[in-house]
Amino acid sequence: MIASRSDTVTQPTAKMREAMHTAELGDDVYGEDPTVNKLEHLAAAMLGKEAGLFAPSGTQSNLLALLTHCGRGDEYIVGNNAHTYRYEGGGAAVLGGIQPQPVNMSTSGELDLEELRAVIKPDDFHFARSRLICLENTHGGRPLRSGYCDEARALCDDYGLTLHLDGARLFNAAVANDESAENIAKPFDTVSICLSKGLGAPIGSVLLGPEQFIREARRWRKVLGGGMRQVGMLGAAGIFALQNNVGRLALDHSHALRVQQALSTKFGPEGVACATNMLHLNLPEAVYVKLAEHLLDHGIKVGRPRWVFHLDVSERDTEVICDAIAKLNF
């Protein structure tokens, strides 16, 4: 079965499994797992930050950032369609007493700067204290423009706020824009990256930021039950992913574009949009159901309405998808 419903379904390659099998281990709760330490240092160097913290998931990595940036009764400002706001269980409110202040979010992931200024609270005990702005890159596969991030940084500096990036697919943005991960991360106080999507690790995220911040986040990780012992096997997968699977993301982008072109011949360019490794389909419900059923008959499982391409969708798989689309007769 060819699965293009999400890049979270990737499987470790044989070489990644070998790296995991031979990883040097220690107790990471005590800071003694050399492989995890290497992963954290590698990720921090790649993003130009002082320190890193390995977490089991991107949801926990983002939550660690929110809990460390904000106290109870504080507020973070976030897009109304951002992952941290809509798809992470309300963890900041449930566990940290942190109030989200959603604002409109464009399809490209930008938050209007004037709207941001309007919702930042004055220093008045009637209001929650505005502490943090959260952005996301990529959003729906669409990279943020680097100039926008600089503008958001300047706004945060004007109001004494910090700036966090949910960079689950930051490396897709870097490859698409031919920009270094360090340059993308530069305007942000803290950044989370995911290892288990297009980079192909079975699990894991790294939170990056100042050394003192990461020290405090490590305490929160323990509180949340995220302290892991001999976890170097997973750290080794993360190292392999960062050293071997970043550049190849361009293949996923090219596969998505090829399928977008095939779909456009059937449904017109307005029916499907391509953004890095993702396709967004805008088709009538009945048409989409028929399309998904047709593809399933050809051994292809797709998302709804988003298709995602990753290292387990090969060049040959892409050809199979395009051939199946060409056979559509409705």
CATH classification at residue 144: 3.40.640.10
Indicate if the pLDDT at residue 330 is higher than 80.
Answer: no
The tokens for 18 are 């070998």
> Same domain for 252 and 217?
no
Report yes or no on 17 lying in a domain.
yes
Residue 200 has which token pair?
A: 């192909």
pLDDT at 304 over 90: no
The Cα 151–Cα 256 span in angstroms is 31
Shared-domain flag, residues 117 and 256 = no
What is the token pair recorded at 206?
A: 């790294």
Tokens linked to 262: 């095939």
3-state SS track over 205-259: EEEEECHHHHHHHHHHHHHCCCCCCCCHHHHHHHHHHHHHCCCCHHHHHHHHHHH
Is 192 part of any domain? Answer: yes
At 303, is the pLDDT very low, low, confident or very high (cuts 50, 70, 90)? Answer: confident
Is 226 part of a structural domain of the chain?
yes
Contact 153, 163 (CB under 8 A): yes
Amino acid at 50: E
- For residue 7, being part of any structural domain is answered with no
- The yes-or-no verdict on residue 49 having pLDDT over 80 is yes
Angle subtended by helix axes 315-326 and 285-297, to nearest 10: 120
| Residues 134/164, Cβ–Cβ less than 8 Å | yes
- Whether residues 99 and 168 share a domain: the answer is yes
Instruction: Report the percentage of the chain scoring pLDDT > 70.
Output: 100
Q: Last residue of a domain, which of 244, 272, 302?
A: 244
Token pair 């002082």 is found at 50
HSE of 36 in the Cβ direction (CA atoms, 13 Å)? 26
pLDDT tens digits, residue range 86-109? 999 999 999 999 999 999 999 999
Q: How far, in Å, CA of 67 to CA of 291, rounded? A: 43
Both 298 and 224 in one domain: the answer is no
pLDDT over 90 at 252, yes or no: yes
Which residues have a Cβ under 8 Å from the Cβ of 56 and sit 6 or more positions away?
203, 204, 205, 226, 228
Domain boundary among 244, 275, 309: 244
Instruction: Please indicate, yes or no, whether residues 304 and 181 belong to a single structural domain of this protein.
Output: no
8 A C-beta contact, residue 321 and residue 279? no
Q: Is 79 exposed, middle or buried (0-12, 13-18, 19+ CB in 10 A)?
A: buried
pLDDT of residue 329: 85
Instruction: Look up the domain containing 295 and give its range.
Output: 248-326
Last residue of a domain, one of 213, 244, 275: 244
Classify residue 1: in a domain, yes or no: no
Render pLDDT for 104-137 as a digit per residue (tens, 0 to 9). 999 999 999 999 999 999 999 999 999 999 999 9
Which residue type occupies 248? Answer: R
Cα–Cα distance, 246 to 326 (Å, whole number): 31
Whether residue 319 is predicted with pLDDT greater than 90 in this model: the reply is yes
- Asked whether residue 3 is domain-assigned, the answer is no
Task: Look over the chain and give the mean of its residue pLDDT values, rounded to a whole number.
Answer: 96
Tell me, yes or no, whether 322 lies in a domain.
yes
Residue 118 in domain? yes
Higher-pLDDT residue of 191 and 330 is 191
pLDDT of residue 65: 98
Q: What is the CATH number of the domain that holds 252?
A: 3.90.1150.10
How far is residue 325's CA from residue 259's CA, in Å, rounded to a whole number? 9
**Phi, psi of 254, rounded to the nearest 5 degrees:** -70, -35
- Predicted local confidence at residue 195, as pLDDT: 98
Q: Are strands 74-79 and 99-103 parallel, antiparallel or unpaired?
A: parallel
Whole-angstrom Cα distance, residue 191 to residue 76? 15
pTM for this model (two decimals) = 0.96
Q: What token pair was written down for 72?
A: 């109870």
Total domains in the fold of the chain: 2
Query: 226 and 274: one domain?
Result: no
pLDDT-derived band at 146 (thresholds 50, 70, 90) equals: confident
Same domain? For 102 and 136 the reply is yes
Q: Are residues 219 and 316 in the same domain?
A: no
Predicted pLDDT at 230: 96
Are 83 and 160 contained in the same domain?
yes
- Whether residues 213 and 314 share a domain: the answer is no
Same domain, yes or no: 156 and 258:
no
Element (H, E) at 172: helix 170-177
Query: Is there a single domain that holds both residue 17 and residue 119?
Result: yes
Helices 14-21 + 232-244 axis angle, to 10: 140
Task: Give the range among 72-76, 167-171, 283-287 with minimum mean pLDDT.
Answer: 283-287
